Amino acid sequence: MIIHFDLQVFESGGDLTGPRGGAPSPAVFNPPLLDTDQWVESAVAAGARYAVLVAKHGSGFSLWPTQAHSCSVAASPWRQGRGDIVGDFIRSCAKYGVRPGLYYNTNFNAFLNVEYPGRVRSGDAAAQAAYNAVVEQQLTELWSRYGDLFEIWFDGGTLPPEQGGPRIIPILARFQPDAVVFQGPPSARNLLRWVGNERGEAPDPCWATTDLLTAEDGTAEKVGMGGSPAGSRWAPGESDLPNRDQKRAFQGGWFWRAGEDDLLYSCDHLVERYYGSVGRNTNMLIGMVIDNRGLVPEADRRRFAEFGRAVAGRFARPLARAAAPELDFGTEQELNQAVVMEDIAHGERILGYDLRGVRASGEEFSIATGSCIGHKRILRFPAVRAARLRLEVTAAKAPPLIRELAAYRI
């Protein structure tokens, strides 16, 4: 999950993703029922293993009591200015066994009149240096106060120091060296990459290795983000999407606005996106909106739970599974899906495969062919009957290491 909550939830007439000639007022921020346990419970119901909180988006409003400037929860009437949503979120993640992540947008800040790619509107060098100092201080606060983070999210990358941007790598290396970093500085150790859209649909194939890292903000789609088996960087894809209609809902479906429950994506849509993301060697990152009460809306909670049940119901009961390239059902079984996983601790080794069925008579036939498997590949095909299933590796960099082969009738 990636969780968005900002001033536009309370002041929906304004576009607070970038400079607008004035500072949005923290005085509008006062969610009466805010409950991060409810947020994380909703994520768990959807099957989420990690959650990323948008700690500071384009408005500049910070969900923790930052000491860098005055536009934060500390200046709002919520909890008389003594609240800390980031701290609450981190504690909720620990309570429910969800790995925590934090998003911080360095490229837009309406409060400080900064626009993409993280440059002050005045162009003044002193003002740019002052903004960089704010970014560095805020990242130090976020990365040093709340314990180990699973993921750090930069939307649209971050302006490098050689182009006048903040010095982020030393702070990252000091406080969060093991976090995976989405669209972070190219020299970051544990990078994740954008797949080129915000529809939750990875390219096919989608390799974890690549020579192409981007700093786009997601407002326009980009092709060619499927990586390469010969890529020089290990930077797996993460496929993000809102849970509300990307074209019709408020601000791309990432933020809540009243009266838009009918714009929730259907469970079937989310399941298809699961196949197009998790099933193509990436993680699926679903948007979660928080309403002006400070809660996940009930319609969204129901949809997340429905989606979680749908995925779990499909993959909870395989016909057979093994950490081997072959399955023996004993007798002929009807199947229409298979899951193949490599042991990526040793890299992506498989370059080509042929999933083959073997009938009780010994007749062998091809079911599905392809190239990339990686962490997980979910294969769907017209129903066939087979007594055995065999993964034939047709090309590889090194001896294949199969973490799992599983067969399903769904």
Q: pLDDT of the chain along its 410 residues, tens only?
A: 999 999 999 985 555 544 444 556 899 999 999 999 999 999 999 999 999 999 999 999 999 999 999 999 999 999 999 999 999 999 999 999 999 999 999 999 999 999 999 999 989 999 999 999 999 999 999 999 999 999 999 998 999 999 999 999 999 999 999 999 999 999 898 999 999 999 999 999 999 999 998 888 788 899 999 999 999 999 999 999 999 999 999 999 999 999 999 999 999 999 999 999 999 999 999 999 999 999 999 999 999 999 999 999 999 999 999 999 999 999 999 999 999 999 999 999 999 999 999 999 999 999 999 999 999 999 999 999 999 999 999 999 999 999 999 999 99
> Is the distance from CB of 389 to CB of 381 less than 8 angstroms?
no
CA dihedral sign, ordered 408, 391, 345, 281: negative
Mark whether 310 and 367 lie in a shared domain.
Answer: no
Mark whether 194 and 330 lie in a shared domain.
Answer: no
Looking at the structure of the chain, the number of domains it has is: 2
Mark whether 264 and 356 lie in a shared domain.
Answer: no
Mark whether 287 and 345 lie in a shared domain.
Answer: no
> Among 207, 103, 107, which Cα is nearest to 164's?
107
Mark whether 231 and 363 lie in a shared domain.
Answer: no
**What are the phi and psi torsion angles at 203 (to 5°)?**
-60, 160
Q: How far is CA 355 from CA 189, 405, 406, in A?
A: 35, 10, 11
**Structural domain boundaries, residue 55:** 2-315
Q: What is the CATH number of the domain that holds 258?
A: 3.20.20.80
Question: For residue 92, which amino acid is it?
Answer: S
Mark whether 241 and 256 lie in a shared domain.
Answer: yes
Question: How far apart are alpha carbons 305 and 45 in whole angstroms?
Answer: 5
Q: Where are the alpha helices (DSSP H) in 147-231?
A: 169-175
For the beta carbon of residue 109, count every other beta carbon within 10 angstroms. Answer: 27
Mark whether 394 and 291 lie in a shared domain.
Answer: no
Question: How far apart are alpha carbons 119 and 251 in whole angstroms?
Answer: 23
Q: Which long-range contacts (CB under 8 A, 24 or more apart) does 297-300 make?
A: 297/256, 297/261, 299/261, 299/264, 300/42, 300/243, 300/261, 300/264
> Is the distance from CB of 398 to CB of 366 less than 8 angstroms?
no
For the beta carbon of residue 249, count every other beta carbon within 10 angstroms. Answer: 22
- The residues, any chain, with a CB within 8 Å of residue 309's CB and separated by 6 or more, are none
pLDDT of residue 12: 57
> Which residue is it, tokens 């974890």?
208
pLDDT tens for 261-297 read: 999 999 999 999 999 999 999 999 999 999 999 999 9
Final residue of a domain: which of 276, 296, 315? 315
Mark whether 234 and 340 lie in a shared domain.
Answer: no
Q: Cα torsion at 392, 330, 315, 197 (round to 10°)?
A: 20
- The residues, any chain, with a CB within 8 Å of residue 247's CB and separated by 6 or more, are none
pLDDT tens for 42-90 read: 999 999 999 999 999 999 999 999 999 999 999 999 999 999 999 999 9
Mark whether 49 and 105 lie in a shared domain.
Answer: yes
